[in-house]
Amino acid sequence: MKGLYKAIVPVARQLEQSEHIGSCRREIQSCCWLTQALCWHWRSMSAIITAFSYCSYYNKDIIFCVLKACLGLLLPSRRKDLRGEVVLITGGGRGIGRHLGKEFAKHGAKKLILWGRTERCLMETCEEISLTTGAECHYFLCDVANREEVYKQAKVVREKVGDVTILVNNAAVVHGKSLMASDDDALMKTQHINTLGQFWTTKAFLPRMLELCHGHVVCINSILSLSSIPGAIDYCTSKASSLAFMESLTLGLLDCPGVGCTTVLPFHTNTDMFQGMRVRFPQLFPPLNPELVALRTVDAVRTNTPFIYLPWTMHALVILKSFLPQAALEEIQRFSGCYTCMDTFKGRT
């Protein structure tokens, strides 16, 4: 492979820069980019395999974890019982949050607590959950962007309902405009709700989970945290920050028995928040149903799965971004319609 790399790359670079390749210039350039990427990818993979082998030789736990993960794909995972759990869901009045409340209640959660900014939505969802599942459900008005309000309402929840054992950070907003067309206050609002809100809620409830050696922190993120699109710069930035927060938190809790984390990264979900967003091939990439996202999220909590991508084909995006050059990724995004999918965005009305 090393000899192949030395032979192909100079030719690929000459073709890429040539002025005599006519109407096929874009196609040939794409092949050149892919050839160079594969060669570089092979060299990188060789280094990774060597490093992995070296580490595995001195730390047998790495091999054990890999084998355990492989077996987990073939054998059914043990699922924990959610009866007795006290679940708090931010943004619980509508969208994915509404269905999360129903799903947790269906699996026997002892108490449900919904946080949000619109009382009518919270009250309707709370009543629906209580009537259809018989679960005890409470709601509180709380803007997670307001740190003092979060800490205040967290204290009220502990006094009136009890200790929260599962925290679901679901609240999010999207402005849906380019950077230069965005209002400064709207940009700040997105960051405060989507990112900083998780800091305040987690700081409010995680200490008690650690004391009890029992708890779970869930983040409803987005695949846009890994692959940004134009027209949603506020949302993509906040979700990328949120993903980094959860990655760090997940690693930080490795030595804390009984307390886990789950981060959900769904593709475009059919809710009012992204109303009007259109992809080029809806048959190939259909929007997810919020019921499915809720179902898979609760299942991930029960199996203590740290990260899940919805649908599973989103794993391909992570793999492609690891070795394809930026120019090739841009061509894929243009072809799939990612560059224009927010042109028809309306958002929640």
Q: Is the pLDDT of residue 104 over 50?
A: yes
Whole-number average pLDDT of the chain = 83
Q: For 218-232, what is the mean pLDDT?
A: 92
Q: For 104-115, what is the mean pLDDT?
A: 96
Please report the sign of the dihedral spanned by the C-alpha atoms of residue 103, residue 105, residue 109, residue 115: positive
pLDDT band at 4 (very low <50, low <70, confident <90, very high): very low
Residue 206's pLDDT is what?
A: 97
Residue 332's pLDDT is what?
A: 80
Task: List the catalytic residues.
Answer: 235
- Interhelix angle 184-191/233-252, rounded to 10 degrees, is 20
Instruction: List the beta strands (DSSP E) in the chain.
Output: 86-90, 111-116, 136-141, 166-169, 215-220, 259-266, 307-310
Residue 349's pLDDT is what?
A: 43
In DSSP terms, 262 is beta-bridged to: 218
Q: pLDDT for 262-321, tens place per residue?
A: 999 998 888 888 877 777 777 777 889 999 999 999 999 999 999 999 988 888 888 888
Task: Tell me which of 143-147, 234-238, 331-335 is least confident.
Answer: 331-335
Which of the pair, 192 or 64, is modelled with greater confidence? 192
Q: What percent of the chain has pLDDT over 90?
A: 55
Q: pLDDT for 81-94, tens place per residue?
A: 999 999 999 999 99
Residue 335's pLDDT is what?
A: 83
Counting Cβ atoms within 10 Å, is residue 70 exposed (0-12), middle (13-18) or buried (19+)? Answer: exposed
Amino acid identity of 137?
Answer: C
Structure tokens at 343: 């042109």
Which of the pair, 341 or 67, is modelled with greater confidence? 341
The closest alpha carbon to 114, from 100, 132, 133, belongs to 100
Q: pLDDT for 139-178, tens place per residue?
A: 999 999 999 999 999 999 999 999 999 999 999 999 888 8
Task: Tell me which of 14-18, 86-90, 159-163, 230-234 is least confident.
Answer: 14-18
The closest alpha carbon to 308, from 296, 319, 317, belongs to 296
pLDDT band at 326 (very low <50, low <70, confident <90, very high): confident
Q: For 90-108, what is the mean pLDDT?
A: 95
Q: For 51-59, what is the mean pLDDT?
A: 52
111-116: strand order across its sheet: 136-141, 111-116, 86-90, 166-169, 215-220, 259-266, 307-310
pLDDT band at 76 (very low <50, low <70, confident <90, very high): low
Q: For 230-243, what is the mean pLDDT?
A: 94
Residue 26's pLDDT is what?
A: 52
CB 104 within 8 A of CB 126: no
Structure tokens at 279: 């992809």
pLDDT band at 111 (very low <50, low <70, confident <90, very high): very high
CA distance 327 to 187: 28
Structure tokens at 127: 């009543």
Q: What percent of the chain has pLDDT over 70?
A: 77
Which of the pair, 117 or 332, is modelled with greater confidence? 117
Q: Which residues, including other chains, have CB under 8 Å from residue 216's CB and lie 6 or more apart?
A: 165, 166, 167, 209, 259, 260, 261, 262, 301, 304
